[in-house]
Structure 1
Amino acid sequence: MNTEYFIAGRIAIKSERTFSKLIVRIAIAGVMLSLAVMILSVAIINGFKTEIQEKVRGYIGDVRIFKFDLNNSFELTPFVPGAETINNLKKNKDVVYFQPYATKPAIISVNDEVEGINFKGIDKSFNWKYISEHLVSGRVISFADSAAAMKEIMISQFTANRLKLKAGDSFIMNFVQNPPRSRKFKIVGVYSVGVEEIDKGFVLGDLNVIRRLNNWGPNEIGGIEVRIKDFSKLKPVSLDIYENLEVNLKSESVSEFFPAIFTWLSLLDVNTRVLLILMMIVGVINMITALLIMILERTNMIGMLKAFGMTDFSVMKIFLYNAIYLVGLGLLLGNILGLGLGFLQQYTHLFKLDQGSYYLSYVPIEIHFSEVLILNVCTVVICFMVLILPSMLVSKISPLKAIRFK
């Protein structure tokens, strides 16, 4: 039997010292809360990044392709995509789908309200999966009848509330050009993305409306939206798409189109790292305090063990084993608390947020068990390494003085 391990177990389980028991419980609680906070922090940041990225990329795609020129307005210069560009996109294994679009600024004046907006034109190849998931009322645009499709439009809940409109209503939209031209549309659907920059800035309609207003050809478009498989590969895939475009085209990733949102998301990573470091420090300080108190309270025992011939290293291992046991218990409870609260929030959305400020109406959770495992391993390793130094205090204790110590 391992003598050091046996003694450490007896100390941990059958200690009758009231003060050390209290300190030990505080230390265990500190480790438990620190790990729970770390698990929840990482899960919440993962959830925020995934949900907000999905909101943005679901509406405008991951990569936008448009004509290379000095035009920086929302109304893009028209072009006809060549066979080379289309074939390269089809052959690209990282591309899920791509679809044409165009935008045109307009003004909606209805119910004594005026709203500037960007009309986003799409065609029958548009992927409706994301919009359908965020549909509040009505339906999506039907391209079965091309003439009817040109009179249909979808607006956001934000725009509907501001202009006092709903699905089924009609209104006049004035397009910004010289001379100004107007079109009457019927609202067939209302959606809510939850990102103000999108909900406030765009409506969806038929691409042929823009073609007719701008006198474009039947195959001319303003740009191409590309959806990729793995968003973590956005930069290399975006570069690969750009390098395989025709010379008169260029591309832009969604992070370049919405820099403010993605800069904010990157800052969340910094906040998470700071919080993880602080929580780790709290847990370590608690364990060091508990270990020092246990050593001081058991000075007599240390003296007796040394008098019986036990080496300093063996005595040190007793207290290290005891500390690791307490850390393990704290980790177990921390995992139960952190994962329990995480799964509760993930399935119930108990904790709410102000959607106007955070783009989401609830605190998002995305738990990666690999990250939970890394947090546990790092906590054990760091605690063990840090606790070696205070445990060496036993080597400074004289057996004769320790036996007399009260």
Structure 2
Amino acid sequence: MERRMNAAAFISRKLRFKGKTAMVSIAVSFLVMILAVSISSGFRKELRDNVSAISGDIQITSSSLNYVSEDSPISSMPPSLDAIRAVDGVESIEPAVYRAGIVKKDDNIHGVLFKGVSASDSTSSLQVSIPSKLSDLLGLKEGDDLIAYFVGERVKMRKFKVASIYRSLVEADDNLLVYASLSDLQRLNSWEQDEVSALEITLADHFRSRSRISMKTDEIGTLALLMADAEDDDLIATPITDKYSRIFDWLDLIDLNVMVILILMTVVAGFNMISGLLILLFQNISTIGILKSMGMTDRSISELFLRVSSNLVLKGMAIGNILALLFCALQSSTHFIRLNPENYFISFVPVSVNVPMILLADLLAYAGIMLLLLLPTLFISKVDPAQTVRAQ
């Protein structure tokens, strides 16, 4: 058996696959596949990280939450807090106060949503961080005054100072979010220090898929409701996938497109290899006949030619992977390929080198191509050694 394997290895090294077209096809197919996986992973990471940063992955709020009024606070220390912290996948829980308002500069006005966050998040008393879109709309810059009006039982006015201007990657979001100090908005609403609009829960990265966020929302919502005090309002847990359903729907569509690309590229590469292997078989009919006459089985000869084909596939895979990783490194550092955020939510093509996904794509594509190559090896069983040797 060992001698037979050594002979097969020796003969396979002597055979040469002369089809450069097949090699180029394999390399291009793997290049496209790895880019598709990396870009899909990049979109998923960038968009999920950014929507999570806006309001957490899960929000716990009063069932009667109203951004306009002041009558729907919840406790920042509910009885279920420790139990929620202990839930697998929960990374952090942060309080937030929301209040809808109208901002004005000169004759320009615009509706916004104020979000009060902890002072450690870069906002101090009566200072705000505004989105670049609002800065462009109202002509605001750092250091400018921002007049805001809040409608409730009575109209309240506050004058804030623009401390910073931030650019959200989720630029297609129509909801202009102005970050202020948590204590400023608590005073605006006449709330106590332990009263907030929401508790925002951030999950670990591997829990940020749509299905897992939904599962954790149900688990956390049940804890919050069952452990709430009798005098408290009903608490509800809302997943970020509801608020940004359009983004998550789009990510699901990207995942489907990537799957289609992987299948198509595997089929294209496979059929190119089939044509190349058939050419190799036709060129070596006499060799096949001689090997059969020497006692080699059809299976052993098939393995010999599959070994040659496998070497070519692996070379093409390596070339495609290297080119794809070089592109990813260049795009990650320069963002030279830009996008329209109105259509793609972010302004550049994101890439993320997800090694397990890339290895899985390589493995599945390689296995698929090699399975397709079993078809032309059936030709070997049709070769008559007597006729081929006589033809020689």
Bucket of the pairwise TM-score, normalised by the shorter protein: 0.7 to 0.9
Q: Match for residue 80 of structure 1?
A: 75
CA contact (8 A) 1:299 1:403 kept: no
How much does 1:92 deviate? 4.3
Indicate the SS of the match to 1:375: helix
Partner-residue secondary structure (3-state), 2:93: strand
Aligned to 2:341: 355
1:171 maps to which residue?
Answer: 146
1:117 aligns with 2:108: no
Q: After the TM superposition, which residues 302-317 of structure 1 pair with which residues of structure 2 at under 5 Å, given as runs?
A: 302-317=288-303
The aligned counterpart of 1:402 is: 388
Output the CA distance in 2 between the equivalents of 1:327 and 1:43: 21
CA deviation after TM superposition for structure 1 residue 64, in Å: 0.7
Q: Tell me the alpha carbon deviations over residues 264-291 of structure 1, each in whole angstroms, 9 at most, x when there is no partner.
A: 1121111110010011001100110101
Question: Match for 2:26 among 13, 21, 31?
Answer: 31
SS in 2 for 1:196: coil
**Using the alignment, how far apart are the partners of 2:198 and 2:350 within structure 1?**
33
Is residue 2:243 matched to residue 1:290? no
Preserved contact between residue 211 and residue 218 of structure 1 (Cα < 8 Å): yes
Deviation string 1:91-119 (CA, Å, 9 cap, x unpaired) is 44643322222222211222432211111
Describe the shift of the 1:376–1:74 C-alpha distance in structure 2 as closer, same or farther (beyond 3 A): farther
For 1:344 and 1:3, the matched residues in 2 are separated by: 45
Query: Which moves more between the two structures, 159-168 or 248-257?
Result: 248-257
> 2:39 matched to 1:44?
yes
Change (3 A) 1:405 1:378: farther
> Which secondary structure state, in structure 1, belongs to the residue aligned with residue 316 of structure 2?
helix
CA contact (8 A) 1:119 1:202 kept: yes
Contact 1:159/1:199 (8 A) holds in 2: no
The answer for the alignment partner of 1:254 in structure 2 is 240
Contact 1:108 1:116 in 2 (8 A): yes
Q: Percent identity?
A: 30
Q: CA RMSD in A?
A: 2.5
Native 8 Å contact 2:67 2:98 kept in 1? no
CA distance in 1, matches of 2:222, 2:21: 59
Q: How far apart are residue 234 of structure 1 and its match?
A: 3.0
Q: Distance in 2 between matches of 1:405 and 1:161?
A: 82
- Residue by residue, what CA displacement relative to the aligned partner does 1:234-285 show, whole Å, maximum 9, x if unpaired? 3343333222214421111211221111111121111110010011001100
What is the match of residue 5 of structure 1? 9
Contact 1:110 1:163 in 2 (8 A): yes
What secondary structure does 2:10 align onto?
Answer: helix
Matches of 2:91 and 2:381, distance apart in 1: 65
Of 293, 311, 329 in structure 1, the residue corresponding to residue 315 of structure 2 is 329
- Aligned partner letter, 2:280: M
Name stretches of at least 5 consecutive residues in structure 1 with no aligned partner. Answer: 16-20, 129-139, 143-148
Match among 17, 33, 56 for residue 61 of structure 1: 56
Which amino acid in structure 1 is aligned with residue 14 of structure 2?
A: R
Cα gap change, 1:297/1:198 in structure 2, threshold over 3 Å: closer, same or farther?
A: same
User: In the alignment, is the contact (CA less than 8 A) between 2:46 and 2:350 conserved in 1?
Assistant: yes
TM-score by length of 1: 0.84
3-state DSSP of counterpart to 2:375: helix
The 1:163/1:340 distance shift into structure 2, 3 A limit, reads: same
Distance 1:396 1:160, change over 3 A: same
The number of equivalent residue pairs is: 376
Matched-pair contact (CA < 8 Å) for 1:156–1:200: no
**Unpaired segments of 5 or more residues in structure 2?**
229-233
Residue aligning to 2:132: 157
Q: 8 Å contact 2:128–2:160 — kept in the other structure?
A: yes
Structure 1 counterpart SS, 2:195: coil
